[in-house]
Amino acid sequence: MIVAIDGESLTIDDVVQVARFGQKVELAVSANELIKKSRDVVETAINEGRLVYGVNTGFGELASVSIGLEDLAKLQVNLIRSHSVGIGEPFPIEVVRGMILLRANALAKGYSGVRIELILTLIQLLNAGVTPVVPQQGSVGSSGDLAPLAHMALVMIGEGEAFYDEERMDGFTALKKVGIKPIVLKAKEGVALINGTQPMTSVGALTVFDALITVKDAMIATCMSIEALKGTRAALDERIHAIRAHEGQTDVATAMRALLLDSEINQSHTDCGIVQDAYSLRCAPQVIGASLDTIRYVQSVVETEINSATDNPLIFADDDTVISGGNFHGQPIALAMDFLGIAISEIANISERRINRLVNPHLSGLPAFLTTEGGLESGMMIAQYTAAALVSENKILAHPASVDSIPTSADQEDHVSMGTIAARKAALILENVKNVIAIEYMCSAQGIDLLAPLKTSKPLEAAKSKMRKVVSKLEDDRTLTPDIEEIRNLMNIGELVTATEDKTGPLLDV
């Protein structure tokens, strides 16, 4: 199916399908009228000689400088060139594709005063597989993500660099290869392209989508650890969670009950006399559930932002009004991304504590470091070190970027959001979280195997069997990095979640 953009109905799933899987895009016919009307307002203002910010004035601190009619087109090109000052490694292709889609969708709302041709050029880039090279660093997240979006716009005018067919080349060559003509920007169009939150929001949309899937992996790995450590199911009793009633906590507890259906391992310690488990086992629904609630909140913020008009000035065609405002300010996304980073880092924090219990014979009742040849062999000792390093790194990354601000544009832009930094940090944190969960998967599967011939529940056995097709039980010391990477690959393609959900049904409504 083709994703039709109208500025009103784009979803995070649409963003993922276009950005990550190459879904085709078109402009909804219903959007054309408002786009044309807003453009007419801009043309009328120019013809009447009205002074309009970004149309016939300079930018930022230079907003009081009037620009003559003969220089309006040059003003827009100069804007794109001068604002293309990003540095660092390029954003991943999927992130840039996401920002192109989001920018096109925002312009399609019909409040930006651009021509339909400009939006169609953005759509052409997506459908032809031309992806501008956009450096990750250089945005403070207000007045829009100016530098990243300027690098995106450079390719539209036949400049800058782009990726095409897995090659990096100059923007003009990339356009020529797919038959796209560089667009000649007209008044207002340059500023409309770069005033927006699309880079931070693209990173945010992809990260939220992946975080929701990671929660499922975290629950499965947690339940495997409970089995390996012969934990109790008592703390999952539905009545406990009903009288606190946080949605995430309740949902996680429900899913964990489905995963921990009665098993031989569970039956083996029915009368062990242990009343309660450590918090990392007993409080998993409360901790993971709180993170889930946060992810869902961030999801709602991102879903609002991807269908918002975020440039400046905005055009209201109903009464021919052009108004300068601040919708480009990234604070809503900045705060949400900081909250997301904190929430998902906690998923790894508690996971690492379970990994520690699994490898510690004084806590697990299992062979030291999950090897039967302790002393001669170190088993999974250092896997816990790696998890500890990752969660410690996340504690630094989780420091909020949005509490910072630094004035720009000669103090005209005297409070900025740092939203792009917040989003990039959240994405980095999630990568670390996934690796910690992969380590827990590896250790808990080993722990369950060491309890043989006892078997775990059918859903968890399905996940473990899928894992064992690519990672064998540890019999003798070997390099464990490939094992972690193999499990991580299974997580990336959803194999472990799918294997368990084939037995339980959907674990979460996401």
Catalytic residues: 53
Tell me how far apart the alpha carbons of residues 132 and 90 are, in angstroms, rounded to a whole number: 9
| Closest by Cα among 241, 338, 250 to 297 | 338
CA quadruple 135, 122, 492, 87: dihedral, nearest 10: 0
| 3-class DSSP assignment, residue 506 | coil
What does the angle CA 309 – CA 314 – CA 318 come to, to the nearest 5 degrees?
Answer: 105
- How many Å is the Cα radius of gyration of the chain? 26
The residues that bridge with 315 in the sheet, in sequence order, are: 322
Q: How distant, in Å, are the alpha carbons of 188, 445, 448, 461, 481 from that of 465?
A: 58, 9, 11, 6, 20
Tell me how far apart the alpha carbons of residues 51 and 68 are, in angstroms, rounded to a whole number: 10
Unique residue bearing structure tokens 């990336």: 492
- Which helix (H) or strand (E) segment holds residue 161: the answer is strand 161-164
Tell me how far apart the alpha carbons of residues 71 and 74 are, in angstroms, rounded to a whole number: 5
Structure tokens at 210: 């992946």
3-state secondary structure 400-432: CCCCCCCCECCCCECCCCCHHHHHHHHHHHHHH
Q: Characterize the bridge pairing of strands 131-132 and 161-164.
A: antiparallel
Structure tokens at 438: 């992969």
